[in-house]
Structure 1
Amino acid sequence: MGRPRGFDEEAVTAAAAALFAARAYDGVGVDDLVQQLGVHRNSLYKTFGSKRGLYLVALRWYSRHVLVPLADRLATGADTERCIADLVGRNDLDLLLLAAVERAPADAEVASVVAETLQLLQRALDRASADRGRITLSEILGERLRARAVFAPSDDDSVD
């Protein structure tokens, strides 16, 4: 009989999703995961198989626990403006956005999760905005990308 798992898999998955959302897949190394998640390297590999395995579990968890409830809230049409403001102003879309541009072109499983989630969100937006003009997910993603990419150059960063 094996030892019981010494960590909460759901909590580790949520923390990994937040880390990947903040720094992207390529910006997070296994050492970062071990240090930030408080999970031993062997436990991480035994549970998730690899960094990619953890990434896929985290992406699916994030879609199911963060974006599906958001889509459900949007689809009701109640407080649509607040939901859209949250999508642009908070980091709820960051992992999806990063997965779409960084991993989906090179990983069919990631591409599938991204495509399904984008479709779900667009359907919710279509229902929410049917009576006041269509709002596209592309517009929201573009605004979130711009909000995430705000850069205030210092004097050292100026181009001559």
Structure 2
Amino acid sequence: MARPREFDEDAALDAAMAQFWSHGYEATSVRDLATAMGVTSASLYNAFGDKRALYERVFERYVDRGFRDRVRRFEHHMPPRDAIAAFFDEIIQLAMSDPHRKGCLIVNSAMELAPHDKQFHRVLSRVLKDIEGFFERCVAAGQRDGSIPANLHTADMAKALLASLMGLRVLARVAPQRALLEGAVRPVLAMIGVSTNPKKQRTRRSA
């Protein structure tokens, strides 16, 4: 009979996420993780496998709490064009409330792990495809309801939004300035009919 866990798994995963997110994969040792998670190294291996397996578990948790949570909140409860605008608006807000400039774990992983880890590259590619799919569904739905120009190439627009999102996340780590971040996404959002008036955007956010 398996022994019950002697620690809070959710709290331990959150602690591991904080370590990886702040320091990166390579710079985080198993000892660092065990200390942060409040477990022994043996317990860590028994519960989660090796460091690489734990990282993938943490990464999936991050994606579910971040991207997938936004999809659940925005895609099915907002008009499609508003869902895209709200997605970017929240990303900028997160960047402005990130004093340690940890950035996005998806982008961080793309830069550090994906280039030389084939298995993780597949995991990351699937997540990026899911994000692109969200944008494509929203653009297509907006074209059907008339809120997004019908002459835009749906799939290409989704790719442009994905590229803008990834670039925004990188830029936010270097220069987390609201005017800069909003200005960076304003042209691509204008293509789908989102207001490009900075004063109007600030009014909407404070309402």
Q: Which residue of 2 aligns with 1:84?
A: 88
Stretches of structure 2 lacking an aligned partner (at least 5 in a row):
96-101, 143-147, 177-207
Q: Which residue of 1 aligns with 2:166?
A: 141
Runs of 4 or more, structure 1, over 4 Å off, are: none
- Any idea what SS the aligned residue of 1:120 has? helix
2:136 to 120, 126, 129: 126
Task: Give the CA deviation at 1:83.
Answer: 1.7
The number of equivalent residue pairs is 151
Q: Indicate if the aligned counterparts of 1:73 and 1:83 stay in contact, CA closer than 8 A.
A: no
Larger radius of gyration: 2
Q: Which residue of 2 aligns with 1:44?
A: 44
Task: Give the CA deviation at 1:2.
Answer: 4.7
- Any idea what SS the aligned residue of 1:105 has? helix
Distance 1:106 1:52 in 2: 13
Q: Which residue of 2 aligns with 1:155?
A: none
Q: Which residue of 2 aligns with 1:158?
A: none
Higher-helix-fraction structure: 2
Cα shift readout 1:23-67 (whole Å, capped 9, x = no counterpart): 221231212211222121110011122111110111122223332
Distance 1:71 1:114 in 2: 17
Q: Which residue of 2 aligns with 1:12?
A: 12
Distance 1:113 1:2 in 2: 30
After TM superposition, the structure 1 stretch with the greater mean CA deviation from structure 2, 96-105 or 1-10, is: 1-10
Q: Which residue of 2 aligns with 1:157?
A: none
Q: Give the aligned residue type for 2:122.
A: S
Q: Which residue of 1 aligns with 2:184?
A: none
Taking structure 1 as the reference length, the TM-score comes to 0.79
Cα root mean square deviation, aligned? 2.5
Q: Give the aligned residue type for 2:11.
A: A
Q: Which residue of 2 aligns with 1:107?
A: 117
Q: Which residue of 1 aligns with 2:32?
A: 32
Taking structure 2 as the reference length, the TM-score comes to 0.63
